């Protein structure tokens, strides 16, 4: 019985290892500089990764046949390529900078009531509150500090 379990375990491991394909490559820009942190993934799956400091990526997938590989990075045009997973060895991707135009940025601020009404601090009121607090503390602490007076 244990022999059958061991053989079936090795069979499943072998089957799962042979069902995976590694996709790897490099992403650079037009100046041949590596793009660090670009996302590379197969569309409509969870398979993918990001590029390292040298612009290189590598990930495994269980997908078979033709898939759409997508590479994206902020400030660059999204790159997509149809590849055959079984034939894709090492991919070299050159990404182009996108010509982004920003419209005017509008910053607004407003206030709202969240339980307490906040108002500007009046130094006179603050000083009076502190003096009142000190006098209360002295009255209450007097008896603890009585030997010191």
**Which range is least confidently modeled, 31-35, 106-110, 125-129, 145-149?**
145-149
pLDDT at 145 over 90: no
pLDDT tens digit string along 94-143? Answer: 999 987 655 666 777 666 555 555 566 667 777 777 788 777 777 766 65
pLDDT at 39 over 80: yes
- Position 20 confidence tier, pLDDT thresholds 50, 70, 90: confident
pLDDT tens digit string along 54-107? Answer: 999 999 999 999 999 999 999 899 999 999 998 877 899 999 998 765 566 677
Between 13 and 34, the more confident residue is 34
pLDDT at 1 over 70: no
Q: At the topology level of CATH, where does 2-95 sit?
A: Immunoglobulin-like (2.60.40)
**The pLDDT of residue 58:** 95
Give the E-state strand segments of 7-144 in sequence order. 21-29, 39-42, 48-50, 56-61, 66-72, 79-84, 90-95
How far apart CA 54 and CA 77 sit, in angstroms, is 20
**The pLDDT of residue 54:** 95
Could you tell me the two tokens for 122?
A: 């009046």
């Amino acid at each position: 019985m244990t022999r059958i379990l061991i053989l079936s375990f090795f069979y499943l491991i072998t089957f799962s290892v042979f069902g995976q394909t590694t996709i790897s490559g490099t992403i650079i820009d037009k100046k041949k500089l590596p793009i660090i942190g670009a996302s590379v993934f197969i569309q409509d799956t969870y398979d993918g990764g990001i590029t390292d400091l040298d612009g290189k990526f590598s990930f495994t997938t269980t997908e078979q046949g033709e898939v759409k590989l997508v590479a994206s990075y902020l400030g660059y045009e999204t790159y997509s390529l149809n590849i055959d997973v079984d034939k894709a060895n090492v991919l070299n991707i050159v990404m182009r900078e996108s010509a982004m135009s920003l419209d005017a940025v509008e910053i607004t601020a407003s206030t709202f009531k969240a339980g307490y009404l906040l108002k500007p601090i009046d130094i006179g009121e603050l000083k009076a509150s502190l003096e009142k607090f000190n006098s209360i503390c002295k009255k209450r602490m007097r008896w603890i500090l009585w030997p010191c007076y």
